[in-house]
Amino acid sequence: MIMVREYQKHRVEIMIHGQISKQQRSCRRRSFPTVGLSLLVTAMLLACISLPTPSSPASEPRVRATATPIIIVATPTPLPQGILDEATAEDLLLIGIYERVNPAVVNVQVIKPVAPAFSQDFFQEGEGSGFIIDKEGHIVTNNHVVEGAEAVQVTLHNGIILEAQVLGTDPHSDLAVVDVDLPPELLQPVELGDSGQLQVGQRAIAIGNPFGLEGTLTTGIISALGRTLPAESLFYIPEIIQTDAAINPGNSGGPLLDAQGRVIGVNTAIRTTTGGNTGVGFAIPVNLVKRVVPQLIAEGRHDHPWLGIKGLTITPLLVDELGLPVERGVLVSEVIADSPAEKARMRGGSRGVELRGETVRVGGDIITSIDDREIVQFEELLAYLVMEMEVGQEVTLGIVRDGEEQTVKVVLEGRP
């Protein structure tokens, strides 16, 4: 069934079912001519009838027309020129830092003796990283890289291999200095920055030799500041820099850099459960390097100032459970025998109290300040002694003893 309707000033309805069965015309003012209507219907019917096509010979197969495939070419959405310029500038920044600093980074290989077996001497090889700090051939690395080494050699960025001499080591800061004999014009030292001006979130760049892959650059950010890290001497290293720049075995002793290519730390450790980087690396602050390294070059060791106490940071839990008279400070749990603190007659804990499965010694002094600086955490006390004080200097401690505020003067000595 075909229905054709036209709406204007007239209305014509034509119903066709095999043949014209009915015609209806309606007009308000004038009639539609019969002849005109017949011609219109005939024209419409002819338009719906397909004309016969010439028959093809029986020998020729019928060819079906196939649709031309549509090919869609995906083009990337163009980025704004400002974003492209920014990405290019970041690439150029890292390329420039690598070209300037990598010549100062060396690969440190060591040979260390191990316990003899079957009446024979056995040795093991190890490696790490280091960086040149002056034109005299002094190279900074980690103490744990060269400690106990029978022989040390360094490989420069251009492949030159040199024998190196260990000038000084410091297990308290995990720093060491080795020396190579090379003409000054062949040495390209790094620039040391200022770790005291660092902020969480700023760029951090590591260059070293992870797994022996020389000249490897990784990037990230400074993810935390003011961490403490246990040293091989069982003392703690303060002001440690935490970074998510990939650091792996072999990076130890290499430089951690800022966006200007200045050294801000010495990569020294990672926290891992797999043996590889999990996004948490630690670097010794360069300001500690500035204090320790000159003495390692001159004397082969560095004397760290020592107070001679063991203590813990006061927390709200300790205040509530132990009824402490202050809410902030360091609770002295033990005073080491023959230490500067003992000589100043400081008091350690007199009795042990079980607190959530741990024994806490209470009854000792509570340190609230040092040289008029408020102390909130034990790490702050440690950082002040290590980063700002020298052996032989006197400090004034503000303490609370038996509920009363007092001051104690202590002359610092070198760590035993």
Name the E strands within 133-234.
138-142, 151-155, 161-170, 175-179, 203-208, 216-230
Cβ 132 vs Cβ 139: under 8 Å: yes
Q: Which residues are catalytic?
A: 144, 174, 252
Torsion of the alpha carbons at 250, 254, 257 and 262, rounded to the nearest 10: -160
Pairing mode, strands 120-132 and 161-170: unpaired
Return d(Cα 125, Cα 79) in angstroms, integer.
50
Bridge partners for 373 per DSSP: 370
Nearest to 180 by CA among 131, 213, 142, 143: 131
A 10 A CB-CB count for 183 gives: 8
Bridge partners for 306 per DSSP: 413
How would DSSP label each residue in 235-292? Answer: SEEEEEEEE-S---TT-TT-EEE-TTS-EEEEEEEE--SSSS--S-EEEEEHHHHHHH
Largest Cα separation within the chain, whole Å, is: 132
Residues of 47-67 as b/e, b for ≥16 C-beta within 10 angstroms? eeeeeeeeeeeeeeeeeeeee
Return d(Cα 138, Cα 147) in angstroms, integer.
17
Cβ 222 vs Cβ 201: under 8 Å: yes
